[in-house]
Structure formats: structure tokens, C-alpha cells
Amino acid sequence: MTKGSAPVFVKLENYNEVMKITESLKSRITEAKAILAKVDAILSEEQKNLDNWKTELDSVEKKVNALSDALLKPEAQ
């Protein structure tokens, strides 16, 4: 140990408690990840429903247009 190079250490108290909290943090992060996966699944389902709704609405629109055409432009007899 030479002059000017003596190591300086910082004391951190309650180390065991900090480590316990760190472990609980890990489990919380795992839980948060699982919840995020559920949210992702819900959003995917929602997107799928939106696509289906759009398809159904397009189909309804076509039928309404066909009905409108049938009612407004009857064949001449």
C-alpha cells in the first residue's frame, strides 16, 4: 500500500435487509413480467377482435349497398 493509493471503503448498513428486499424485488419483477405477458395477450386478442369487427362491418356494408341498389334501382318491366 503506497502513498496516495490507499483504498477507501464506504460502509453500507442493513446489508441483510437490503439483500432480502433485492430478492423480493426479483420476485416482483417476475410477477410484473407475467402480468405484462397477460396484458400483451389481452391486447393481441383485442387486435384480433378489431380485425374481425372490421371484416363483419365490411360485410354489412356490402349487404346494405346491395339492398340499397335493389330498392332504388328496380328492373324495368
Partner 1 sequence: MGLFSLFGRRKSEGPSLKEGVASAPKPAKLAEDAYSDLPNLSDMTAGHDLAPLPELRASSNLATSLFNPNTDFDTIKPIRGNTDMAASIPKSFEQPAPTPRAEAPRPKQDAPEVLHELPRPDAAGKRIPEEILTKREGKPGDEKKAIFRGAIGAINIPRRGKGEGLKLISPMPKEPEGVGPTAPLYRAVREGDNLFLDMEGFKSLRQVMDQMTVNFDSIRQMFNRMSENREDAGRVYEKWRKCLVGIERRLAFIDKAVFSHGGGGR
Return d(Cα 77, Cα 65) in angstroms, integer: 23
Write down how long the chain is. Answer: 77
Regarding 73 and contact with partner 1 (CB under 8 A), the answer is no
Return d(Cα 43, Cα 56) in angstroms, integer: 20
Regarding 22 and contact with partner 1 (CB under 8 A), the answer is no
Contact pattern for partner 1 over residues 31 through 70, marking x by CB under 8 A: -----------------------------x---x--x---
HSE, side-chain direction, 13 A CA sphere, residue 34:
6
Return d(Cα 60, Cα 70) in angstroms, integer: 15
Regarding 72 and contact with partner 1 (CB under 8 A), the answer is no
Regarding 71 and contact with partner 1 (CB under 8 A), the answer is yes
Contacts with partner 1 by CB under 8 A lie at 1-3, 6-18, 60, 64, 67, 71
